[in-house]
Chain A
Amino acid sequence: MFGFLRSLFSNDLAIDLGTANTLIYMRGRGIVLNEPSVVAIRVDPSSGKKVIQAVGQTAKQMLGKTPGNLQAIRPMKDGVIADFVVTEQMIKQFIKKVHASSLLSPSPRIIICVPCGSTQVERRAIRDAALAAGASKVFLIEEPMAAAIGAGLPVAEATGSMVVDIGGGTTEVGVIALGGMVYSGSIRVGGDKFDDAIVNYIRRNYGMLIGEATAELIKKQVAIAFPSPEVLEVEVKGRNLAEGIPRSFTVSSNEIREAIADPLNQIVSAIKIALEQTPPELGSDIAERGIVLTGGGALLRDLDRLIQEETGLPVIVAEDPLTCVARGCGMALEKVDMLDTLFATE
């Protein structure tokens, strides 16, 4: 009923609703929130109702360590919503966090990014979740587009740019020219798949069971995508499968490179397919300028070198790749009233 009034007192938001992290950009203020997409839910013993215990960083620390009445959930999977109700609550909580407490509950206009490979149903779910979380209006933007804008690529010019956004759940490859996507491809391989690959590798080769959080730690500390004379090592602890007792062991970067070779190959082949499908004029632009990597995956050591060697094209990592998509959404948000063509339809 007071939607109009509420939207008047709400700042427009751009949300990068990622599998791993959710970032919120507020119009005029920049990135105001960067939290893991995790929700901890507690079952109230007296009433049996489920209540939200924590979201974001606090909830992430609970992952894999929860007692029976607590549940730490990652509601996004492969770049799309896996649990609608929890996602809706998570967005609501995050919006509440960034809006200073006021009399009216916030009802902002929201730009939210979607993987370009997502289906109509998945896009609809994301839109509905944002609307249910209190948005007055929702615009969808495809991730490669947002990433390219955020990386500072000349998206509106008559030159082709290729952007590869390696997120937590998906890898998006986009060729962009004249403010639109000429080619877009999406594979459901991302940071999570690297973690899974590391967990599997450690179990197979060490007979040790480690959790996802430990796998992520290994990935961040020693994972490398391209052979390098410098070898990094990290000591981790896991449960020995044979003895059932926690043990500590050391893994090296070369082992992890072997472990994540499979998902890396999938990403490389997705890029090669994109290059194959790109019109030759744009292809020559890309050869001149190179491929731009964004997303958390771009922080994987020497991933740019791997792609560079595999494709024979220059590859650069965008500045601050983790926030590229959110910043790109934010730039689109600043001009939301003038842009229609930029937004994705369902």
Chain B
Amino acid sequence: MEQGRSVAEMAQQLKLLPRQITALEEGRFDELPGPVFVRGFVRNYARALGLDPEPLLASLEVKPGAEAVTLTPASNAEGEIRIRRSRPWRIVLRYVLPLFVLLLLVTVYFDWFRMPSPTRQETAVLLPPAVEAQDTTTDVLGSHSRSAVAEPFSSPAVSVASEDDSLGETTQSAPASDVSEPEKARAEAPSVVSPENPSEPESVLRFRAEGRSWVEVRDASGTVVFSRILDAGQEASLDGTPPFSLVVGNAAVVRVEFRGEPIEIKEVSKNGVGRIRLP
């Protein structure tokens, strides 16, 4: 219109719609997208007409940034969409773990308060090697003939008794090729030992179990010198220097002999464990 150009021509040049051009010319800015675009369109329009856009822009009442800037989309609700997924760890946490803890508690209860014997028996396993050796010795004694008493004893006090024995002992430590040698020696040993040492004292302590039971013996210093489980009919014996303190489980079925004399275990607790001290 100004400079004799039609709205259509201007719209064509500015790539705007004719209604936008008329709105712009008539100052109906609310029909246009927004202040930024109004100012942009005015600037483009002025330039297309060869006018200086600045005074026109200054006269515009729409200023950029006049209204508060919003940077996030409008919101009128709140909440979270939960994604339901089977989580194995959650099942473990909710069901398996408490079950496991319960099981653990039950086990501990029975272990600790109801069955004292197994815990005692544990000490036997922890015996130092020397004592262990002695232990196996008595085992051998218990299960085999008593005549072989002296043979495997490594304690000097006993092995003094027979020279053949100590010979057998040393050859035993020789290389494996000489296996037959100690074998022979061992075969000889019983015949030699039993007649030669009639005076040798019987084992200081002997146990004979008539039912399943366990025995633990401590010496004067309090160290465990003997600890075993005895099955029905099993025997065991022990050497050493008294005094001993004995603890016998299921005392009713164990016969104890001290220096060949039977000992009666008087002090018996209600769960059958007997305690006795031998001089």
Contact = CB atoms under 8 A, between A and B. Distances in A.
Given A149-B71, A179-B72, A335-B71, A292 B15 contact: no
Nearest to B65: A152
Interface in A301-315: 304, 308, 311-315
A304 B40 CA distance: 11
Q: Lowest 4 CB-CB distances: which A-B pairs, in order? A: A316-B40, A178-B73, A289-B33, A152-B36
B23 to A, nearest CB: 12
Interface string A129-169: 00000000000000000000101111111110000000000
B35 A152 contact: yes
Given A152-B36, A152-B65, A319-B64, A314 B71 contact: no
Given A289-B33, A292-B36, A314-B41, A179 B73 contact: yes
Contacts of A159: 33
Interface stretch (A247-255, A264-272, A338-346): A338-346
8 contacts: A155-B71, A156-B71, A178-B73, A289-B34, A290-B37, A314-B16, A318-B36, A331-B71
Contact of B33 (A151, A158, A288, A338): A288
Interface of B: 14-17, 33-37, 39-41, 43-44, 64-65, 69-74
A308 B44 CA distance: 11
A314 B44 contact: yes
Contacts of B64: 152, 319
A158 B73 contact: yes
Nearest to A156: B70
A154 B71 contact: no
Given A152-B65, A304-B44, A319-B39, 9 more contacts: A155-B71, A156-B73, A157-B73, A157-B74, A159-B33, A178-B73, A314-B15, A315-B44, A335-B71
A281 B209 CA distance: 97
Contacts, number: 78
Nearest to A149: B71
Q: Which of B35, B37, B74 has the most CB of A within 10 A?
A: B37
B71 A179 contact: yes
A178 B223 CA distance: 83
Contacts of B70: 154-157
A40 B85 CA distance: 57
Given A152-B65, A314-B16, A316-B43, A289 B37 contact: yes
A332 interface: yes
Contacts of A155: 70-71
A31 interface: no
Nearest to A331: B69
Given A151-B36, A312-B15, A314-B14, A332 B71 contact: yes
Contacts of B41: 290, 314, 316
Nearest to B72: A179
- The secondary-structure label for the interface of chain A is loop
A317 interface: yes
A315 B39 CA distance: 12
Nearest to A332: B71
B69 A149 contact: yes
A314 B11 CA distance: 10
Nearest to A342: B71
Q: Which of B17, B40, B44, B74 has the most CB of A within 10 A?
A: B40
A56 B69 CA distance: 31
Given A152-B35, A153-B36, A316 B44 contact: yes
Contacts of B44: 304, 314-316
A154 B74 CA distance: 12
Contact of B71 (A290, A304, A315, A339): A339
Contacts of A312: 15
Contacts of B36: 151-153, 292, 316, 318-319
A280 B17 CA distance: 18
Contact of A308 (B15, B34, B43, B69): B15
